[in-house]
Structure formats: C-alpha cells, structure tokens
Structure 1
Amino acid sequence: MTRPVEAPPPSLPRGLRVAAIVSLLFSAPTGFLALSESLGLGQLEEHREAAKNSPPPSFSLMGDPAIDARITQAQYNALAPHRESRALVLGMLSVVCAFVFVSAGRLLRPDGLPLERMRRMLVVSTIAAAVLRTIDGAQWAVVARRMAPTLVEAMKGMPAFQGPNSAEELGVVTWLMPAISMAFTAAVAGVFALLGQYFQSDTVRHAISAQDGALTEEED
C-alpha cells in the first residue's frame, strides 16, 4: 500500500513576497548609508581639518576647486551643531534597518522559524525606520538650508550665472536644496510606512497564520 503524498505547505502570497523583497532593497542601502555617516560624524573635526589642509583635487564638481572647498567647509559647519543628535538618529536608523533586513529575509527563507514573530518584527522595525528616516531628513534639510547661501555666493562668480536672469536662478537654489532633501525623505520614509501598514494588515496575518500552521503540522 502506497503512502499518501503529503501536500506541500502553502507558499507565501506573491504580494507578501514582493513586500519582503522591497523591504530588503530599501533597508540595505538606507542602513548602510546611515551607519557610514554616523561613523563619519564621530570624526567630523578630523575630516574638516583634513579638507582644509589637503591639496585641491584634479577634478572639480563646480569647475573651481576653491568653490568646492568652500561648499565642503559650509557642509561641515552646518553639521557641527547637530553632530551628536544626528549621529544618534543615524545609529538608531542603521540598527532598525538591520532588523528590517533580517526579518524580511526570514520571511522569504524561514528555515522552520515561526513567521508570525518575523511579521511582528517587520511591523515594528519598518514603522520605526519611517519615523527615524523622517527625523534624519528633517535634520539634513536644516543642513541644506544653511549650506545654500554659501553655494549661492560661490556660484555668483561662475560664468554661467552672469546673465540678466542669474539672480532669479540663484534664488531658486536657496529653496531647491532643502526641497529635494524633503522630497527624497518623503519617498523613502513613505515606503517604510506603507510596508509597516501592509505587514500588519489582516491579509498578511492570515497568510502568515496559514504558513505557520503548515510548518507546525510538518513538525508533528
């Protein structure tokens, strides 16, 4: 008498797998960049002094190494008052993104672990990432706003901004820099917030419950 073939455990819905992959793709670079900047802020003064004493580079982003140096110093000066608080936020963001990455990876490859635990971790970590990324973006918008006058002053001497409409064009820079920062922040933080809402939805709860039930039956 042949043994009946057991049905394979139900696979995760396609939408849930896509959401887990998106979590991996967003958490990895966000966490890496946050960790890199957080470590760099710990040596902000060393970097600022090194930039002052280093020879001008062969390649200039603005077409003049002196202008590049002024913009770099303006960035360091704008970051200095917020160094401790920004390093704390970025450090927390990198840790939270690590939790997002691990829990999303475990959803895709559970290896016998209960998925409900990973789902709960994803809900908390993605929402926390959205909040911290929003704070990070607000801090960087302040830095960009403080850098804008230096950038505008440096650009006034460039040949491209000597026309009759140069004053209006340069005036756009003062609000464009923080606006770009806030738009990018809204996009990234919004994705994390949407992921958090999705992972705590009833659809995901039922799918995870069915998957965990199948794994428990296999173990029994």
Structure 2
Amino acid sequence: MSASRSSGLPRGIRFAALVSLVLAALTGWSALSEATQLEHFYESRERQLEVDYPTWMGDKALMETVVRTHFSALEPMREPRLVLMGVLSIACAFVFVAAARMLRPDGLPREGMRKMLGRAALVVAVLRTIDGAQLAVVARRMGIAMAEGLRHLPAYQDDVGTQVASSVPSVAVFASVLGTAIIAGTFALLGQYFRSDSVRDAVLARDPEPEED
C-alpha cells in the first residue's frame, strides 16, 4: 500500500464528515423522540399539560392553550407524521454510520461509504423539508393561539403590546421555516459535496488498493 493511499483524508472532507455525523445524530434523535411521542400521543399530551411551566414563560392558562393547540394541530397528521419521523430517523442512521466510517474506516474502503453518505444526506434533506412544511402549519396555529391569549393579558393592552401579539404567528412560522432551511439545506449541501468528483477522487486516492490473488 502506498503512502498516499494509507494517509488520512483532507481536512475539508474530515470536517464535512464530522458535521454530517453530529447533525445526523441530533436530527435522528429528535425524529425518534417525536416518533415515540406520536406513538403515545394522548399520554404525551396529558404529561405536557401537567408540566409546571416557570413564570418567565408566561401565564399558565396561556401555556396550556398553546400545548393543546400544538397537539390539536398534530392530531390530523399523526399517522403519516409517525411514518415520516421513523423513516427520517433511519435515514439519519445511514448518514451517521457512513460519516463515522469515513472518519474511521478500520481498514474498509471509504468509497462505498462516500456514496452512501451522499445519497442518504440528500434523502434526509428531502424528508426534513417535508417535516418542516408540517411544522410550519403547527407553528402557525400555535402562534395564532398565543397571539389570542396575549391580547387578553394586561401587559399587551397598549399599542406596542398589540403589535407584538399580532406578530407572533408570523414570527413562529418564520422561525420554523428558517430552522428547516438551515438543517435541510445543510444536509443537501453535504449530500452534493460527498457526491462531487473532487471528493470521490480524494477518497479513491486514499483507499487501500485491492489485494491481488
């Protein structure tokens, strides 16, 4: 085996693999947690309603209304979303394993892992975009419920308070869309990066040569 083939990957590829590893772990864990919550939907709702929210989060009745709105918005999409979260967590697992093997191949060729990482990252980007579209609907409904609740609080009776309350639905949707754009966009960029010719050539140059019979 030549020295160039036994050497490590370039720093840029290692960094991209590390980002893939961390992002896949966080996204996959989040999807798996929500899938568990959706599977035990009504029990999860009751637990959330029984939580003692700190005073800085606002009026207790308002928080209960927001929680009920959250679960009410999720209920019609519960089953398809449960499937989506399950598939998303599996796709993230593929990204995680491929990225880990890119970083520590343990003697295995990295080229196969590069291909799997590129494809799986693009799949995650698509699934996370669908997830984000659903979350935007939920965020809007929660924002409307919060805005209605804020309008009845003394601190929001003046003009400034009214404007703040009115902006809550738009801010909630914007935050949801922004989060989706960042996460799904990063996965899409990683997928395209690992499918690029430059990364393929760098990986092939450092993979072990096939043993001759």
How far apart are 1:61 and its partner, in Å? 4.8
Q: Which residue does the alignment assign to 1:111?
A: 106
CA distance in 2, matches of 1:194, 1:58: 38
| Identity percentage of aligned residues | 47
Give the unaligned 5+ runs of structure 1.
Answer: 1-5
Give the conservation status (yes or no) of the 8 Å contact 1:100–1:126. Answer: yes
Q: Which residue does the alignment assign to 2:32?
A: 35
Q: Which residue does the alignment assign to 1:216?
A: 209
Aligned residues between the structures: 211
How far apart are 1:60 and its partner, in Å? 3.8
- Superposition RMSD in Å: 1.9
Structure (1 or 2) with the larger CA radius of gyration: 1
**Partner SS state of residue 11, structure 1:** coil
How far apart are 1:58 and its partner, in Å? 6.2
- The amino acid of 1:86's aligned partner reads R
Question: Aligned ranges for residues 1-220 of structure 1 at < 5 Å?
Answer: 7=3, 9-51=6-48, 54=50, 57=52, 59-212=54-207, 215-216=208-209
How far apart are 1:129 and its partner, in Å? 0.6
CA distance in 2, matches of 1:62, 1:14: 43
Tell me the TM-score normalized by structure 1: 0.89
Give the conservation status (yes or no) of the 8 Å contact 1:61–1:68. Answer: no
Runs (4+) off by over 6 Å:
none
CA distance in 2, matches of 1:11, 1:60: 52
Tell me the TM-score normalized by structure 2: 0.92
How far apart are 1:120 and its partner, in Å? 0.7
How far apart are 1:46 and its partner, in Å? 2.1
**Partner SS state of residue 165, structure 1:** helix
Give the conservation status (yes or no) of the 8 Å contact 1:60–1:68. Answer: no
- The amino acid of 2:136's aligned partner reads A
- The amino acid of 1:7's aligned partner reads A
